[in-house]
């Protein structure tokens, strides 16, 4: 299917161009030109979002649910072009993009049903006690209200599910917050088609056009202005620690500081307990290799580190991991920048003291091949940089002397999105010592599985202590993600008829 993007920004229902441009860098086919974002466009988008809030922020849950479902329908209606363009731009296989589209429309529909159910409003009512002594109690009711316009940065590694109509956008719109998206330069054509789908849904549902704007990148100034714009009340971001931290700091330095919900790096360690390794170490090694190389390792939940006790079982585990990784061919990475960062990360690990290369490969240009390294618990504990994310299919095995050292390695971890334990029933006593540590480190703890593949559901947490995220109380996946864009308001002695619709007694 051929699709030629017009390359414009969508600002409050109108496709507009600026006077400068940038080109994308597709993995196949000719590059295409896109209008570059500007401070003036960001200003217009934010002002339109604020104007839209006065209707959208007070709209009924039914109207917003219908809007979310219509966006999902409009994305489905454009499925073939989204897949084709997305695949050309990012190098991701078509099957992966089809799956990601399913997840994207699935989460839009999930948020629609979530707001209809209404639990997220967390309604509370302290009934007035006029005769209470020594003082009467007033009537107090609480409800969660939307916060205002939200900025979202499209992520490179999920061009659909964490981008223009991804989880951040779906949860903000569900809450009643207009959104200004800063598109990622790795997939501007894909962003354009998805923005067209949202535009069509806005027109069908009669929503204020300022409720959604897409401003392409092309200059750092775009993202910097967006997070500092006085009308923006929160930011959703998925990407690198460096960029996330820079944007977080800008949010904190504002006259009115705002929350920056950054989902950043994580090495997602796996702890392999002795009985599980003895019983099925080879099977775990095979599963790990699959999880590590899935999507060329470009997942925030990629399990980059495996920790287990030294000895014959550990050696057999390493050999099995090598055998499973060796046949994995080169995979195309999302951008040249990510491929370069992968090679730099490999060099950092390869040159670290006490690290040996177990599986050597070579990768060039935008290609990624898997690497496997091994080190000891002692070296790990002496070198904090071994715990930093390498974005790509690189694994590090850490062999420890005993379970006490394994616990020390766990204690040394930075904040993680996930921690995994592979265990059998006989490992339970040791795991009961490990879990309280992991609970302080990660947003999600798994047993006997692999963390890649984040279920979009009620009970999911995709977040964690810094640097996994910049806000440990939040998740960017699952229905609880809506809480990021709400704030509680108490209404004291406000007459029933003047309360928000959702607080009135039916």
The yes or no reply on residue 153 touching ligand NAP (CB under 6 A) is yes
Which residues ranging from 326 to 345 are in contact with ligand NAP (CB under 6 A)?
A: 337-338, 341
Nearer Cβ to ligand NAP (176/217):
217
Contacts of 311 (CB under 8 A, 6+ apart): none
Nearer Cβ to ligand NAP (247/446):
247
Is 357 among the catalytic positions?
no
- Select from 209, 187, 123, 18 the least CA-distant residue to 501: 123
Up-side HSE of residue 216: CA atoms within 13 Å toward CB?
Answer: 31
CA distance 155 to 259: 18
Which residue reads 């997602």 in tokens? 268
- 121, 300, 359, 369: residue in contact with ligand NAP (rule CB under 6 A): 300
Q: How far is the CB of 106 from ligand NAP (least distance, A)?
A: 20
Size of the residue set binding ligand NAP (CB under 6 A) = 24
Q: How far is the CB of 156 from ligand NAP (least distance, A)?
A: 3
Stretch that binds ligand NAP, among 111-119, 217-225, 271-279, 446-454 (CB under 6 A): 217-225
What's 37's DSSP letter? P
Q: How far is the CB of 257 from ligand NAP (least distance, A)?
A: 17
Is 263 among the catalytic positions?
yes
Q: How far is the CB of 159 from ligand NAP (least distance, A)?
A: 10
CA distance 260 to 245: 9
CA distance 251 to 255: 9
The yes or no reply on residue 199 touching ligand NAP (CB under 6 A) is no
What's 388's DSSP letter? S
The yes or no reply on residue 24 touching ligand NAP (CB under 6 A) is no
The yes or no reply on residue 247 touching ligand NAP (CB under 6 A) is yes
The yes or no reply on residue 291 touching ligand NAP (CB under 6 A) is no
Q: How far is the CB of 488 from ligand NAP (least distance, A)?
A: 30
CA distance 6 to 3: 9
The yes or no reply on residue 236 touching ligand NAP (CB under 6 A) is no
What's 186's DSSP letter? T
- 159, 166, 239, 304: residue in contact with ligand NAP (rule CB under 6 A): 239
CA distance 25 to 215: 18
Output the CA–CA distances (angstroms, integers) from residue 76 to 70, 85, 166, 169, in the order listed: 10, 14, 14, 17
- For 35, the 3-state DSSP assignment is strand
Please list the active-site residues.
263, 300
Q: Which residues bind ligand NAP (CB under 6 A)?
A: 153, 155-157, 182, 184-185, 217, 220, 223-224, 238-240, 243, 246-247, 264-265, 300, 337-338, 341, 391
């Amino acid at each position: 299917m051929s699709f030629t993007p017009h390359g414009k920004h969508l600002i409050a229902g109108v496709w507009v161009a600026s006077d400068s441009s940038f080109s994308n860098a597709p993995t196949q086919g000719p590059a295409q030109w896109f209008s570059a974002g500007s401070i003036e466009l960001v200003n217009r988008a934010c002002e339109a979002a604020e104007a839209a809030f006065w209707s959208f922020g007070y709209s009924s849950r039914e109207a917003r649910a219908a809007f979310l479902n219509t966006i999902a329908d409009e994305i489905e209606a454009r499925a073939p072009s989204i897949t084709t363009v997305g695949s050309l731009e990012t190098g991701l296989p078509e099957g992966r993009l089809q799956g990601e589209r399913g997840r994207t429309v699935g989460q839009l529909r999930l948020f629609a049903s979530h707001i209809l159910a209404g639990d997220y409003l967390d309604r509370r009512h302290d009934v007035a006690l006029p005769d209470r002594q020594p003082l009467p109690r007033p009537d107090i009711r609480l409800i969660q209200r939307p916060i205002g316009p939200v900025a979202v940065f499209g992520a490179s590694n999920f061009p659909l599910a964490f981008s223009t109509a991804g989880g951040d956008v779906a949860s903000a719109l569900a809450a009643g917050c207009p959104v200004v998206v800063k598109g990622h330069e790795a997939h501007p054509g894909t962003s354009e088609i998805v923005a067209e789908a949202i535009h069509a849904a806005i027109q069908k549902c009669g929503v204020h056009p300022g409720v959604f704007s897409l401003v392409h990148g092309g200059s750092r100034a775009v993202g910097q202005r967006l997070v500092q714009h006085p009308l923006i009340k929160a930011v959703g971001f998925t990407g690198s620690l460096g960029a996330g931290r820079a944007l977080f700091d800008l949010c904190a330095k504002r006259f009115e500081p705002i929350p920056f919900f950054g989902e950043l790096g994580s090495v997602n360690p796996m702890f392999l307990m002795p009985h599980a390794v003895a019983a099925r170490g080879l099977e775990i090694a095979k599963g790990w290799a699959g999880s590590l190389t899935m999507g060329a390792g470009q997942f925030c939940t990629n399990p980059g580190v495996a920790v287990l006790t030294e000895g014959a079982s550990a050696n057999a585990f390493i050999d099995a991991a090598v055998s499973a990784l060796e046949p994995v061919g080169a995979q195309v990475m999302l951008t040249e920048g990510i491929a370069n960062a992968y090679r730099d990360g490999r060099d950092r690990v390869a040159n670290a003291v006490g690290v040996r290369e177990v599986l050597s490969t070579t990768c060039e240009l935008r290609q990624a091949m898997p690497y496997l390294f091994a080190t000891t618990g002692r070296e790990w504990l002496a070198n904090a940089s071994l715990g930093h994310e390498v974005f790509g299919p690189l694994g590090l095995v850490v062999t420890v002397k005993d379970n006490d050292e394994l616990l020390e390695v766990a204690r040394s971890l930075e904040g993680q999105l996930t921690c995994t334990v592979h265990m059998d029933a006989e490992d339970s006593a040791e795991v009961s010592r490990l879990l309280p540590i992991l609970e302080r480190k990660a947003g999600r703890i798994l047993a006997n599985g692999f963390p890649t593949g984040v279920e979009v559901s009620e009970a999911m947490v995709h977040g964690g202590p810094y640097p996994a995220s910049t806000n440990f109380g939040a998740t960017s996946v699952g229905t609880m993600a809506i809480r990021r864009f709400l704030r509680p308001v108490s209404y004291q002695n406000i007459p029933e008829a003047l309360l928000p619709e959702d607080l009135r007694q039916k």
